[in-house]
Structure 1
Amino acid sequence: MYKRDASAFPWNSLVSGYAELGLYEDAIALYFQMEEEGVEPDMYTFPRVLKACGGLGLIQVGEEVHRHVVRSGFANDGFVLNALVDMYAKCGDIVKARKVFDKITFRDSVSWNAMLTGYVRHGLLVEALDIFGQMLQEEYEPDSVAISTMLTSLSSLKPALQIHAWVLRQGFEWNLSIANSLIGVYSNRGKLDRARWLFKHMPERDVVSWNSIISAHSRLPEVLTFFEQMEDAGTVPDSITFVSMLSACAHLGLVKDGQRLYSMMRGKYRINPVMEHYACMVNLYGRAGLIKEAYAVIVETMEFEAGPTVWGALLYACLLHRNVDIGEIAAEKLFELEPDNELNFELLMNIYSNVGRLEDVERVRMMMVERGLDS
């Protein structure tokens, strides 16, 4: 299959090529063939193979390669150790990743970012912030993707402000992914002025930027203006854009605008609706009291079976507008789809209660008892 060679050089070229192209299975297969041929991997082979293991999530193979690393005398090689940290983090063993990281005598930006990204990926934000702080003390530059992901995962504004301050000092504020994340952070914390300022001053914007600012204004009439500006700027809306826009129209009671946007999505932009779009349309009609139209979306328009989000939107609309007949239909569907969801039973009980059908309230309550849902 491959020409035999006593040195690892030609093999490394092939392994590296496969790994860089994302052909991870081929890279790993070639690594095992090297072993069969008696060709010893070197400091260049191991990182590529470990990258392939991380890409496929093959931790057992990665552990075997790790043992081979130790046997071959590369257990202290910085490039190999960086690759091991990355592999363990991607494969889900963040504890082993940290153990390897702690063994690295001379860490570089790759080491730090591998550990930072691993913590962020696993939602360990306290640990990620700790690593981030250490990186700043050591004057290493955190990876922009890791920073963006960390920003969007934060539940508190204070660390986000600290990260933003560092971004400003480094001159990275207009990195596209970081700026988009900052817009999301400030929007989610109700700091719309800051979000708008960032958006206005961005030197470049992509569809994520527009989606972020549109989502930030999903409860405000200005959302329509931002959508128009998005089109005027030549940015093509995507499926996420229309979920945000249709949801905004539903909450703002803009039925005609919602209908227009839905038609535009399907016609002008050739986007086929998914479950979230249908749920938004049901919500749009339902909140406006157009219960029959909302029900018609499900039974006449949808090209696949409606899920809990769609039927749930209809049931909630029936509660708002005291529609018992369609509410019962929606509830029965939800009882099949989510037999253990107490909220659906409670919504139907409230619908009955609002119209004085107390016997039906008791009947649904007994259903909950029988299913072990009555707390």
Structure 2
Amino acid sequence: MSILVLPSVTANLYSLSNSYSHSKAKTNNDQNLRKNLKHVESIHGRAIKKGTEQDPFVVFELVRLYCKLNIDHATKLFHSTHNPNVYLYTSLIDGFVSFGSFSAAIALYAQMGHKNVLPDSYVVTSVLKACLLQRALGCGREVHAQVLKSGLGLDRSIALKFIALYGKCGELDDARKVFDKMPERDVVAHTVMMASYFDHGMVEEAIRVFNGLKTQDTVCWTAMIHGLLGALELGRWIHMYIHKCNVKFNQIVAGALINMYSRCGDIDEAQLLFDDMKVKDVSSYNSMICGLALHGMSIEAIELFREMLKQGIRPNSITFVGVLNACSHGGLVELGFEIFQSMETLHGIKPDIEHHGCMVDILGRVGRLEEAYNFIERMGAQHVDDKMLCALLSACKIHRNSEVGERVAKRLSECSRMDSGSYIMLSNFYASLGRWNFAAEFREKMEKGGMLKEPGCSSIEVNNVIHEFLAGDLRHHERRSIYQKLEELNYLAKLEGYSPATEVALHDIDDKQKELALAVHSERLAISYGLISTEPHTTLRVVKNLRICDDCHAMIKLIAKITSRKIVVRDRNRFHHFENGHCSCKDYW
């Protein structure tokens, strides 16, 4: 047994595994990652020398640790192991999912079946997470059939994953069958089922599910409201339903509604709710400050922060994330630094990685890129992660500063842990410089790692139904009318002086192909559908999962002017309120 033969190896592995599990900061930091990776590699080397590299415990802990540090190392070790067991498969599948390699996770699970390794509930839950994130309905059905055939049974965690998968893929009858067969259905199960119905505009079915709860307390209502994010009309309906049921309107329910309204694009309604609250706590202020910041209402967010301090309410870490984001969106650099410094000196809160990221964003957005890079250099390695570097690299691309960008790109490419977003950012940066060989190299590395680019997706709610569009989507039943409207908008926009910004189409193709690619971006399809399916002068609200590109931003300003519509678009960074040819972000996002 390894525990006797190699006590130092097993003890070190156990200790490392626990420390990595309980210290998120270590996994977020590039310098620590490299240090920890070398540490694990040294233990791995000692295990090989002692001849215990095939010991089940040693292999399992090594794979788990490598999955947190370097997925390639984990994969190589797994494939060099004789007869890997279900625990080893689970560990690597979890690793693939955490690195965004969903296809690789699903493929490994399929391999497990071919090797006649019997699954357990843990590995099934892991692969279903990959299926959900990939929307791999066919694979999910195969897993479901296998689970039923193997006699595993649908325990709570597996059932929840199946409900979410079927719901996300529009298979609501199947989702409901799984829900109904659960022996015990708690608040979480009801919320997942309700969210599936809400996503597809099936309000009455969602309410029936809610009414099936044995207790309808504050926790239930709050969970239900959080399930509505992105569906404004449904949120309004639930708000009225709460009044109808005479639910006690406390700080928790009010805070959830404020959060829902602000994230669904109706910041005015969120403000009214906040103003009507008789008693406000730090959570209430945080919801409103973060909502205002998200909508680019920087001055209002900062004034609310100052009001909060006057009321004697002590801010917390979340408060400062909101107010620093407000400074970033408003270009308020000096004020941002003043508030950042006051965190520790006046409020006794030590800034963490998110607050440092806000400061890098503040400098990057106004083009003070050298200062932003120096800020990263000064802050200490423990506060730098790949997300912060991606934000600065994006700012370098926007401000066309290749010199600083090259330094940031080099540092980002050396990170031990990179997700698909990091690879895409690097590829896009080099593509924007016309260096297609470098761009292709990072795309290739991403694909070899089993990672997929997150496709651009935009959604719009019409008559309580959420309609989703991908770029160039042809799935919608009204696609002919949508593309006719899009063609009409392109013609009218060009009369207004619109010229496609083909430089943002980051592929090595000619300008005509780039123009065609830009013309069918998902947000344009969603807006076109909104225009043909709603009354004139109705506000359109679109949610996009990625950052809106410069070309679409310019186009939507003109669409708002041409159609006399207000168009609200939420992208990954913030809300954009387009009206009469202008945007609330003042072309600064």
3-state DSSP of counterpart to 1:209: helix
Counterpart Cα distance in 2 of 1:250 and 1:166: 37
- Which residue of structure 2 aligns with residue 365 of structure 1? 439
The residue that corresponds to 2:47 in the other structure is none
2:374 aligns to what? 296
| Structure 1 residue aligned with 2:409 | 331
| 2:269 corresponds to 1:269 | no
User: Could you tell me which residue of structure 2 aligns to residue 151 of structure 1?
Assistant: 225
The aligned amino acid for 2:337 is Q
Superposed displacement of residue 312, structure 1? 1.1
Q: Over aligned residues, Cα RMSD in angstroms?
A: 3.2
Number of matched residues?
272
Question: Who wins on radius of gyration, i.e. which is larger?
Answer: 1
Deviation, structure 1 residue 310: 0.8
1:139 and 1:369 map into 2 onto residues whose CA distance is 48
Match of 1:189 among 264, 278, 285: 264
Corresponding residue number in structure 1 for 2:332: 254
| CA positional deviation for 1:282 | 0.5
2:214 and 2:203 map into 1 onto residues whose CA distance is 14
Distance 1:320-1:365 versus aligned 2 partners, 3 A rule: closer
- State the alpha-carbon separation in 2 of the partners of residues 239 and 363 from structure 1: 42
**Is 2:426 the partner of 1:344?**
yes
**Matched AA of 1:232:** K
Name the counterpart of 1:241. Answer: 319
Amino acid at match of 2:333: V
Q: Which stretch of structure 1 is more off in the superposition, 169-178 or 286-295?
A: 169-178
The Cα shift of 1:224 comes to: 0.8
Amino acid at match of 2:227: S
Distance 1:180 1:325, change over 3 A: same
Matched, 1:206 2:284: no
Instruction: Give secondary structure in 2 for the equivalent of 1:217.
Output: helix
**Which segment drifts farther, 122-131 or 290-299?**
122-131
Q: Greater strand share, 1 or 2?
A: 2
SS in 1 for 2:382: coil
DSSP-derived class of the 1:234 partner: coil
Of structures 1 and 2, the one scoring higher in RCO (CA 8 A, sep 6+) is 2
1:132–1:142 CA contact under 8 A, matched in 2: no
Q: 1:211 to 1:137 in 2, by over 3 A?
A: closer
Residue 92 of structure 1: how far off its partner (Å): 4.9
Aligned mates of 1:295, 1:329 — CA distance in 2: 9
Measure the CA separation in 1 of the matches of 2:189 and 2:323.
Answer: 34
Give the Å deviation of 1:199.
0.5
Aligned to 1:118: 189
- State the alpha-carbon separation in 2 of the partners of residues 307 and 123 from structure 1: 36
Deviations along 1:322-349, whole A, 9 cap, x unmatched? Answer: 2222211211222233275223221233
**SS of residue matched to 2:216:** coil
Kept in 1, the 8 Å contact 2:289–2:304? The answer is: yes
Flag as ranges the 4+ runs of structure 1 deviating above 6 A: 127-131, 135-140
User: Could you tell me how far apart the structure 2 residues matched to 1:209 and 1:98 are?
Assistant: 36
Shift, 1:253, TM fit: 0.3
1:163-222 per-residue CA deviation (whole Å, 9 max, x = no partner) reads 211211233262221111110111112212211111011122222111111011101121
Distance 1:163 1:200, change over 3 A: same
Q: Deviations over 1:11-67 (max 9, x none)?
A: xxxxxxxxxxxxxxxxxxxxxxxxxxxxxxxxxxxxxxxxxxxxxxxx89xxxxxxx
Q: Deviations over 1:222-277 (max 9, x none)?
A: 11111011111222111111111111111110001101110111211121222211
Find 2:359's aligned residue among 274, 281, 288.
281
Contact residue 152 and residue 181 of structure 1 kept, 8 A: yes
Aligned 8 A contact 1:97 1:115 in 2: no
**Alignment partners' CA distance in 1, 2:268 and 2:375:** 37
Matched with 1:358 is none
One-letter identity of the residue aligned with 1:168: H
Q: Give the distance between the partners of 2:379 and 2:244, measured in 1 at CA.
A: 53
Given that residues 164 and 173 in structure 1 are in contact (C-alpha distance below 8 angstroms), is that contact kept between their aligned partners in structure 2?
A: no
1:161 corresponds to 2:236: yes
Shift of 1:100: 5.1
- 1:331–1:345 Cα contact (<8 Å) kept: no
Q: Cα distance 1:280–1:100, how it changes in 2: closer, same or farther (>3 A)?
A: closer
Question: Distance in 1 between the 2:329 and 2:254 partners?
Answer: 27
Q: Distance in 1 between matches of 2:225 and 2:318?
A: 20
Alignment partner, residue 80 of structure 2: none
Partner deviation per Cα, 1:97-132 (whole Å, 9 max, x = no partner) = 74355xxxxxxxxx8xx5443232688542896676
What is the Cα deviation at residue 303 of structure 1? 5.0
Match of 2:396 among 295, 314, 318: 318
Within the alignment, does 1:226 sit opposite 2:304 as a pair? yes
Structure 2 residue matching 1:237: 3-state secondary structure:
coil
Structure 1: distance between partners of 2:381 and 2:442: 32
Distance 1:325 1:116 in 2: 53
In structure 2, C-alpha distance between the alignment counterparts of 1:88 and 1:216, rounded to whole Å: 37
Give the distance between the partners of 1:260 and 1:156, measured in 2 at CA: 37
Query: 1:139 & 1:305 partners in 2: Cα distance?
Result: 44
Whether contact under 8 Å (2:328, 2:365) holds in the other structure is yes
Counterpart of 1:209, as a letter, is S
Q: How does 1:18-97 map to 2 (within 5 A)?
A: 89=156, 91-94=157-160
Tell me: CA distance 1:175–1:369, structure 2 relative to 1, closer, same or farther (3 Å): closer
Pairing of 1:131-150 with structure 2 (within 5 A)? 133-134=207-208, 142-150=216-224
The answer as to whether partners of 2:226 and 2:260 remain within 8 angstroms in 1 is yes
**Offset of residue 299 of structure 1:** 0.8
SS of 1:327's partner is helix
TM-score (normalised: structure 2): 0.42
